[in-house]
Structure 1
Amino acid sequence: MSVEPTTAVRRLYDEVFNAGELAVADELVSPTFVGHGGPGGDRTGPDFLKQSAAVLRGAISDLHFDLHDVFAGGDRVVARWTSTGRHTGEGLGQPPSGEPIRSDGIVIFRVDDTGLAEQWSAVQFGR
């Protein structure tokens, strides 16, 4: 991986999720990436993260992830974040409410020489 692992995670949230620069995921995420768990089971490849960002950005206006902690040990990077915005679009499994929305998460990434290779997430949704 040409980018330092904690920098890669910061860029994923800042550039892909916050700014909507979806192509950046191709630079940071391994072609064999696996996102474990969540609705529908495991998801693979950089397209999974690009689709996730696109859905969230379409459903939540002013979507913003604030990274509170990002640290690494061995081949793992952990990020703790809060996301905020307003639920104004489709894609969250319920009609848009127009209300503020917030979620808090902790995500563990495994990194290898090809990029962000695996992800495990714990997310708490709230308003």
Structure 2
Amino acid sequence: MDDLKSLMRRFVDEFQSQGDEAVADELLADTFRNHTAPPGMSPDKQGVKAYFAAFQRAVPDLHAQVHDMLVDGDRW
């Protein structure tokens, strides 16, 4: 479970907050599908990268933070 927690924190810290797209390329499968993609946004890995790139441009000091995490029914 610690591995899943570490991967998620890395995704949030390094990709969502810092904009490191290499992390998204590494952690998201090529077959990834975002089932909650905003209208007009591609639901694949490229769409997620484009979404957060736009977010980073709009909010350059963006800092995503995980407050609660649920893994297999366990809250962390």
Identify the residue that residue 92 of structure 1 maps to in structure 2.
Answer: none
Asked whether the 8 Å contact 2:41–2:51 carries over to 1, the reply is no
Shift of 1:49: 1.9
The amino acid of 1:59's aligned partner reads A
Partner of 1:25: 24
Distance 1:22 1:42 in 2: 16
Query: Counterpart of 2:52?
Result: 53
Q: Distance in 1 between matches of 2:52 and 2:46?
A: 10
Unaligned runs of 5+ in 1: 79-127
Query: What is the TM-score normalised by the length of structure 1?
Result: 0.49
Contact 1:22 1:53 in 2 (8 A): no
| Higher normalized strand content (fraction of residues) | 1
Q: For residues 34-74 of structure 1, what are the alpha-carbon distances to aligned partners after superposition, in whole Å with 9 as ceiling and x for unaligned?
A: 00133237601x22221121110001121111210122118
Give the % identical residues: 35
- Aligned counterparts of 1:28 and 1:14: Cα–Cα separation in 2: 13
Q: Secondary structure at the match of 1:40?
A: coil
Scaled by the length of structure 2, the TM-score of the pair is 0.77
Give the structure 2 partner of residue 40 of structure 1: 40
Residues 41 and 21 of structure 1, relative CA distance in 2, 3 Å threshold: closer
**Counterpart-to-counterpart distance in 1, 2:18 and 2:35:** 24
Q: Which runs of 4+ in 1 moved over 4 A?
A: none
Q: Which has the higher contact order (CA 8 A, sep 6+)?
A: 2
CA contact (8 A) 1:36 1:42 kept: no
| RMSD (CA atoms) | 2.2
Number of the residue aligned with 1:6? 5
